[in-house]
């Protein structure tokens, strides 16, 4: 069974009865497909290959990752980020990637914003229509497979801590990604504190990412030395607040680390990220592998079952904003700091099960 079945079903959508039929078939298709895949990935085999997707401001990249080795298997595939990058348009790209790889199974996905239990809470560099959207539910509906979404810097940090510059590091490690924005991930003895968003820390009255991201360096045509002065102010603040044992510098600039390393002046050691552009894809796939484990758990003994709490339900869709912002709002987002949607505790979705969070 493949996604072509859905296309065939869609042809029935010419009259109201056909539409109802198509809707029912889509639901059935999703359930059946998930059931088939669940059997595959619960077979207990080692070396589970999981599709990792990295959503960025200009491109959406996907690849199959061997999550036991943390290695990409085969080719990456890149599709331009739709403009405007509305939830529906981006979800369609995720479905295209699934189709491209003829993939069946759980998916790990990065997102360049705060992601709490699958719900996107900010939108600094993407369409404002994402705020309040449950990305996991949306992508699951679009692809037919379970999806785990986490912040892009958190995903890259997870991969670097497991396999790259942070491997074996104890204490406090701060990963910072310099790209369109600045992403941050903080680890204490290997444990992630998610959604830290230090790119929005104020430096000289502006968000750090509006002074020191790679985008600003390019836009203002700053030399590596002048850009490093701005980065130093940011790293200095971070060091003052957190006394890290290690900084990891990620994002596109990590490839050119030797051009600016000598200008960086902080007490803690600084390492460039090692996984470069693959960190997000690999980290997302590894996070999904932990959330959707490959082997069927041993049946718990009676005593254990009594002691264990009921597993928590998956997050339900978050509240959706009424009006979707279009290109105008997106342009505005470029110039404005991230807007955090206010939610009352009662509106918060269920707690996640991921051990990484």
Question: Under the rule (CB under 6 A), what is the footprint of ligand BGC?
Answer: 112-114, 122, 124-125, 151-153, 177, 179, 181, 183, 197, 199, 209, 338
Provide the minimum distance between the beta carbon of 69 and ligand BGC in the complex, in angstroms, as a whole number. 26
User: Nearer to ligand BGC by C-beta: 218 or 300?
Assistant: 218
Report the residue number whose CB is nearest to ligand BGC.
Answer: 181
Alpha carbons 94 and 107: distance in angstroms, whole number: 10
Question: Minimum distance from CB of 357 to ligand BGC (Å)?
Answer: 15
> Residue 338 CB, nearest distance to ligand BGC (Å)?
5
Using DSSP, state whether 69 is helix, strand or coil.
coil
CB of 168 to ligand BGC, least distance (A): 25
Is the Cβ–Cβ distance between 55 and 42 less than 8 Å? Answer: no
Cα angle, residue 284 at apex, residues 27 and 334 outer, rounded to 5°: 95
Distances (CA, A) of 331 to 30, 56, 70, 83: 36, 16, 36, 11
CA atoms of 217 and 181, how far apart (whole Å) = 11
Least spacing, CB of residue 71 vs ligand BGC, in Å: 24
Query: Between 22 and 119, whose beta carbon lies closer to ligand BGC?
Result: 119
* Locus of tokens 């050691």: 269
Q: Measure the CA dihedral 241/155/323/96, to 10°.
A: 160
Closest CB to ligand BGC among residues 270, 333:
333
Minimum CB separation of residue 180 from ligand BGC in Å reads 6
* Closer residue to ligand BGC, CB minimum distance, 153 or 288: 153
- Considering beta carbons, is residue 97 or 114 the nearer one to ligand BGC? 114
Question: Which one, 50 or 115, has the nearer CB to ligand BGC?
Answer: 115
Sign of the torsion formed by the C-alpha atoms of 32, 34, 35 and 39 = positive
Token readout for 111 is 């997102």
Tell me how far apart the alpha carbons of residues 61 and 52 are, in angstroms, rounded to a whole number. Answer: 8
């Amino acid at each position: 069974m493949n996604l072509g079945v859905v296309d065939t079903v869609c042809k029935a959508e010419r009259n109201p009865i056909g539409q109802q039929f198509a809707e029912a078939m889509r639901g059935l298709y999703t359930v059946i497909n998930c059931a088939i895949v669940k059997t595959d990935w619960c077979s207990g085999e080692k070396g589970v290959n999981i599709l990792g997707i990295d959503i960025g401001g200009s491109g959406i990249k996907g690849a199959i990752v061997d999550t036991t080795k943390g290695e990409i298997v085969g080719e990456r595939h890149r599709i331009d980020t739709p403009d405007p990058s509305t939830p529906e348009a981006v979800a369609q790209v995720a479905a295209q990637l699934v189709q491209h790889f003829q993939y069946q199974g759980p998916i790990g996905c990065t997102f360049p914003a705060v992601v709490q239990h699958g719900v996107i809470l900010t939108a600094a560099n993407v369409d404002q229509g994402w705020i309040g959207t449950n990305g996991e539910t949306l992508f699951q509906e679009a692809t037919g497979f379970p999806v785990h979404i986490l912040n892009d810097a958190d995903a890259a940090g997870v991969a670097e801590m497991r396999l790259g510059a942070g491997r074996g590091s104890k204490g406090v490690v701060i990963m910072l990604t310099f790209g369109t924005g600045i992403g941050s991930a903080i680890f204490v003895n290997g444990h992630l504190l998610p959604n830290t968003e230090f790119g929005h820390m104020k430096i000289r009255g502006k968000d750090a990412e509006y002074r020191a991201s790679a985008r600003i360096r390019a836009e203002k045509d700053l030399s590596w030395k002048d850009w490093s002065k701005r980065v130093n102010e940011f790293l200095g603040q971070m060091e003052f607040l957190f006394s890290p044992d290690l900084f990891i510098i990620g994002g596109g600039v990590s490839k050119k680390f030797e051009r600016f390393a000598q200008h960086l002046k902080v007490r803690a050691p600084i390492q460039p990220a090692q996984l470069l552009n693959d960190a997000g894809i690999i980290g997302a796939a590894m996070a999904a592998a932990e959330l959707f484990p490959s082997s069927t758990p041993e049946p718990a003994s009676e005593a254990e079952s009594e002691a264990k709490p009921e597993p928590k339900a998956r997050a339900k869709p978050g509240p959706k904003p009424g009006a979707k912002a279009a290109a105008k709002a997106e342009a505005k987002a470029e110039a404005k700091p991230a807007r955090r949607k206010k939610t009352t505790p009662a509106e918060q979705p269920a707690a996640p099960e991921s051990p990484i969070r």
